[in-house]
A = this chain, B = another copy of it.
Amino acid sequence: MNVAKLARRHLKAPRSAVLQQVRARSTRAASTCSIPNYAEPSFPCVDAHAARESRILASTVKAATSSSGPSTSSSSSSGPEPPYARPSPSSYKTFSSKDPLPLVYAPPLPQFEIAYETWGTLSPAKDNVILLHTGLSASSHAASTELNRAEGWWEHFIGPGRALDTNQFFIICTNVLGGCYGTTGPSSLDATTGERYATRFPVISIFDMVQAQFRLLDHLGIDKLYASVGSSMGAMQSLAAGWLQPERVGKIVSISGTARSSPSAIAMRFAQRSVLMADPNWNKGFYYDGLPPHTGMKLARQIATITYRSGPEWDQRFGRKFREIPDAQQDSEHPRVPALCPDFLIETYLDYQGEQFCLKYDANSLIYISKAMDLFDMTGSSLKSLKLTPPAPRSSPPPLPPSLAAHLPSPHHDYYHSHLSHSKSHPPPSNPPPHLPDLAEGLKPLANTPTLVLGVQSDILFPVEQQREVADALRMTGNQMVSYYELGGVWGHDTFLLDVQNVGGAIRGFLS
């Protein structure tokens, strides 16, 4: 039976017949109730899941019928295509490696692809490169390009005179390993089998993501990075890049990240993975020829969104306001009757965020990358258990900004010491976490790398305590070039996407 026929049948009989029969009596009871005390319930938020499934199936039928006719589709590539999994390779560049990529937790990936985009101009000496790392679900499209005019996720941070100044720097952003926007991930074809990896994809680490990026740099002939820059999971990659190849990374920018994922952040990501993996459509990861786990993705994103913003923002933005309902449904004599589906504005906001996301990203990518974040731990004992051999800290002074290199007296270190207001003060933390010495041990390879650590006080996912921890541990390695900032405001973790003035300003100051 081909997919289009299956889909059509599914539209008519979306649920298990058995369960429907089990339930028939209660439904009958509801409809034959002659004197109902209370209104019959309605649940538009539940109906939305079924309606979404119908829409996906209908578009699948349409696509299958118009493209290959109803009787073909025997290979996996002609099966129903989840709407999120339609990368447009013309909108970004791709690097294909036929050489295996060693992985921390598994045998090497036999081959892999990296999708990337660039902004600015590579200097003849190839010494003005900034590698920009993404958060969990972002693509390489950090800002608009000639290939793709759409706004990017960091549109206002990249450009002439901006935080990442394209007049000075050549910026590279990749889709991460494990992702679904052109880089090899669980939705990619495994060349050894001709099938999609799905959950046969190996568990990956943040270090693997960065190693893949270094392979892209090798391919581009870029020996050194002026800086490695990232926020959220990108901050983890940024630190990992400096750690793996200290001589190759001039500076590190770590915004709202961590060097060691905490149990409470793991808990929030675990909750997301749990609801996603419980969606029957997830099917243990083998959904690429069927229906994507869109309901699980929506629920997971709702939970994630809670961790991306802050209570104070919601107090200001939504308070306890309800969504508006038509006057006809209201009665000035009686209180507004609340609904069990989203009714408060905070609920409709979370519902909307989940709905917008649920078909835009691959569920398996979410699971693998969120797990990689959980596993990230740069304490010395953890790195040792991963058999990662710490390299020596960089020996040479870090590069100077291209614009200043011609004008400044040497030695370079003086420049940093005088320029970074925070670099000379190393007050011991007043209430250090017990793992701090272990973290400092792990971060030793970064002892000579200028690093900007920036956190946000309203961030509940990567709280400021973790930002202080990174800065403190770096300083304990002897690093005298640590800039540390804490921002106020109510935007929580998402501040790095929103606060162009303060986040962008700190980056620009640190890089220039």
Contact = CB atoms under 8 A, between A and B. Distances in A.
Contacts of A268: 306
A340 interface: yes
Given A13-B18, A45-B277, A192-B35, A286 B374 contact: no
Interface stretch (A231-239, A341-349, A405-413, A418-426): A341-349
B371 A105 contact: no
A306 to B, nearest CB: 5
Contacts of A339: 203
Given A29-B76, A338-B105, A315 B41 contact: no
A33 interface: yes
A160 to B, nearest CB: 39
A263 B346 contact: yes
Copies of this chain: 2
Contacts of A367: 340
Given A13-B18, A19-B291, A193-B33, A314 B264 contact: yes
Contacts of A274: 45, 299, 302, 350-351
A264 B306 contact: yes
**8 closest Cβ contacts across the A-B interface?**
A264-B311, A263-B314, A41-B199, A26-B286, A263-B346, A22-B290, A29-B195, A10-B18
B263 A36 contact: no
Which interface residue of A16, A26, A433 has the most chain B CB atoms within 10 A?
A26
Nearest to A204: B338
A429 to B, nearest CB: 15
A153 interface: no
Interface residues of A, number: 119
A387 B264 contact: no
A106 interface: yes
Interface of A: 1, 3, 6-7, 9-10, 13-19, 21-23, 25-27, 29-30, 33-41, 43, 45-46, 49, 76, 79, 104-107, 110, 190, 192-193, 195-196, 198-203, 260-264, 266-268, 270-271, 273-275, 277-278, 280-291, 295, 299, 302-303, 306, 310-311, 314-315, 318-320, 334-342, 344-347, 350-351, 367-368, 371, 374-375, 377, 382, 385-387, 433, 435, 463
Contacts of A13: 16, 18
Contacts of A16: 10, 13-17
Given A46-B284, A433-B315, A266 B346 contact: yes
B299 A263 contact: no
Contact of A267 (B266, B271, B306): B306
Contact of A346 (B192, B270, B371): B270
Contacts of A104: 335
A147 B199 CA distance: 52
